[in-house]
Structure 1
C-alpha cells in the first residue's frame, strides 16, 4: 500500500521540512530526590521564563553534555540519518549556543538556513535531568526560538517538501505560532501534507482548543501523540474511546504507547507494532521525536503503515539506549537489518 506522502507524480527536493524550536540540550544525571526538592514533575517538560532562573538551575546541575536539540529538529536529524532529505526552520541567536545548534544540525545532513537573531534573548536551552530509570525531566528556556517570525520562513523550501512537520511545543509563543500558521498555508497552497505532533500534555492544557480547531478544519494530515496526549486531546479517560474520537477527524493518527508499542489508524484501518526490545533504557529523551522520524521516513519511501511503525519503533529503541536525542548508530543499516529494506 503506497503511503499518502509518497507521490510518484512529483519529485520534491525534500521529503520533510520541519518548523520547530531551535534548542541546545544540556543533559545531566540526576535523582528522584533532587527533582522533588526542586519541585519538578518527573518525566514532564516545564518552561523556564527568565534567563536568571535558567542560569540558577543550570548551576545546580551535575556534569553534563551539550547537543543541539528541539523536538522537530531531533526528528529531521533522525530523518537525515535514515537517508531522507530533510530541512529545518527555527530561530537561534547570534551567540555561541546558536553556532553550536547550526553546526550540529547541518553536520547531521539537514538543510538549515534561518538567519540568527541579534541581541537578547540568547539561544534556547533545555536543561534535562535524567534519573537512573532513564526518565528525563526537562526545563526549557525558549530564548530566541520563541521569536521566529513569519518573515523568516523560506516559502520555496516549504513548498518543495512532500510534508511540513510542526511541533506543538512551538505553539506557545505568539510570534512562532503565527509563523506556523503561515507555514501551513504555504504547504496547503502547494498541495503538500501537514504533520503535527502534540508534543506534551502541557501544550494541550494551554492550547488544546487551537489544536482541536486545526484538526477540525482539516489542516492536519498526520497527527502524532503519545497515549497521555491523546487522552488529553480527546478529554477522555478511556484509550479506545479517545482513539475512535480522534481517528475519525484526521486522515492518519499515530499513537506511541511506550513499552506497549504503537498504533496507527488510517481510513478506519488500525495497525499496531510492539516496542523493540532493548537491554536497558538509558535516557528517553527524544524517543517520540525519533519515532516520528522513522514513521515519516517509511511513509516518504512508500512503505505501508505497519512497516512505517516498525521503523519508528526501531528508531525509538536506538535513541533510548544511550544519552542524547540524536542517533549514535548507523540507522540505515539498523533498519535494513530489522526491516529488510
Structure 2
C-alpha cells in the first residue's frame, strides 16, 4: 500500500471566479461583499448568466486548498471528499489529479446530484462577493473515509466545517481516534468562528478523541477558549491543547509546540486579496513539519507563503509566487 505524508478530508467546492458590475449584483439582488449560502436553483441561475464570463475555475474548499498547497511543495497527499457525477464534479476530480493528489474519487463511482460550488463575483473595485452552494459536498461522512490511508499517513488534517453534520462529525471522530491509536499527528482547522460558537462542545469532544494540533485564527481561539483577551486564550490553549497555531492577520502568528510559544511576523506586503491566506498558511506549515522543521521555522515559512497569497488574487499561488515560495522553503529548511 502507498504511504502518504498527508491525509485530508473536507467539503469539496469548485471555485468559480468571474468579473461583474455593481449593476449585475443589484439586478440579481446579490449582497455585495458577503459570503452567502444558497440553494442549487439560485446558484445555477447565476452561473447560467455568467457562464460565458467565467475567468477561472479550480477545485477548492478550505481543506482542499491546504492539501493542494502541501502537495505543491512536494508532499505526497491523499484527499477524501464528495462530488457529484456532473460537469463540476468531473472537473474537480481532474483538477486533483493534475495537482498530483490521490483521492477516494479515484476508485468510487460518483453519485447523481450537484457538486458544490463557490461563485466569486469580483467588481471593478476589487471587492469579492461569494455565493456558496454545498451540494453533495456537504454529505461527506464515514463512507468517504479511507481508514487504511489515514492510519498510515504521517499527518491527518480535518476540516472543521464537517462538524456541523452528523455524517461529517462521525467521519472526523473515526479519523481522530485512529490517529490517536497510531500515535500520529491529527490536525484540525477550526474553519469559522461562528462554527466554533455553535459547536464548541463538539470541537472539545473531537480534540479529546485524538486531535493534537489546532489551526485557528484569533476569533476562533476566543470562541473556543471563551477568554476575554487573546492573552487569556493563549493561556487556556497552552493548558488544554497539545500543540496549536493562532493566525493573527497582518500581525503574523502565535504557535505552541508544547514547550515554547513562538511569535512570528508577516513580511510587509501589498495586500490585494485575503481569500485563501489561512488555507495556504496551514498547508505550508504542515509541509514544513513533514520536512522535520521546528514550529518556529514552520511558522516563518507559513507566514511568508500566506503573504504571497494576499499579494495576488485567488487561493492558489501563481507560478511566479510558487517559485518564490519553493525557494524560500528550501532556504528556511536548510538554515
Query: Shorter-chain TM-score category?
Result: 0.7 to 0.9
Task: Find 2:254's aligned residue among 248, 259, 263.
Answer: 263
Other structure's SS at 2:227 match: coil
Aligned to 1:118: 111
Query: Equivalences for 1:241-320 in 2 at 5 Å?
Result: 241-278=232-269, 280-320=270-310
Cα distance, 1:180–1:214 mapped onto 2, change above 3 Å = closer
- Segment drifting more, 130-139 vs 248-257: 130-139
Long gaps (5+) in structure 2: none
Asked whether 1:237 is paired with 2:236, we answer no
The answer to whether the Cα contact below 8 Å between 1:310 and 1:339 also exists between their aligned partners in 2 is no
How many residues matched?
A: 324
Other structure's SS at 1:67 match: strand
Other structure's SS at 2:214 match: strand
Deviations 1:180-205 (A, max 9, x none): 22222232233322100111113213
Other structure's SS at 1:14 match: coil
Deviation at 1:32, TM superposition (A): 8.8
TM-score normalized with structure 1 length:
0.86
CA distance in 1, matches of 2:226, 2:89: 38
The answer to whether the Cα contact below 8 Å between 1:90 and 1:148 also exists between their aligned partners in 2 is yes
Long gaps (5+) in structure 1: 1-11
Q: Which has the higher helix share?
A: 2
The answer to whether the Cα contact below 8 Å between 1:148 and 1:176 also exists between their aligned partners in 2 is yes
The answer to whether the Cα contact below 8 Å between 2:13 and 2:60 also exists between their aligned partners in 1 is yes
The answer to whether the Cα contact below 8 Å between 1:132 and 1:282 also exists between their aligned partners in 2 is no
Query: Equivalences for 1:6-155 in 2 at 5 Å?
Result: 13-29=3-19, 38-39=30-31, 42=33, 45-48=35-38, 50-58=39-47, 63-114=54-105, 115-120=108-113, 122-130=114-122, 136-155=128-147
Cα distance, 1:339–1:194 mapped onto 2, change above 3 Å = closer
- Segment drifting more, 331-340 vs 223-232: 331-340
Cα distance, 1:275–1:38 mapped onto 2, change above 3 Å = same
The answer to whether the Cα contact below 8 Å between 2:10 and 2:140 also exists between their aligned partners in 1 is no
Other structure's SS at 2:154 match: strand
CA distance in 2, matches of 1:188, 1:276: 36
Cα distance, 1:213–1:303 mapped onto 2, change above 3 Å = same
Aligned to 2:330: 336
Cα distance, 1:273–1:136 mapped onto 2, change above 3 Å = farther
Cα root mean square deviation, aligned: 2.6
CA distance in 2, matches of 1:271, 1:203: 27
The answer to whether the Cα contact below 8 Å between 1:136 and 1:284 also exists between their aligned partners in 2 is no
Cα distance, 1:174–1:297 mapped onto 2, change above 3 Å = same
Deviation at 1:59, TM superposition (A): 5.8
TM-score normalized with structure 2 length:
0.87
- Segment drifting more, 247-256 vs 324-333: 324-333
Cα distance, 1:218–1:276 mapped onto 2, change above 3 Å = farther
Deviation at 1:132, TM superposition (A): 7.1
Aligned to 2:211: 220
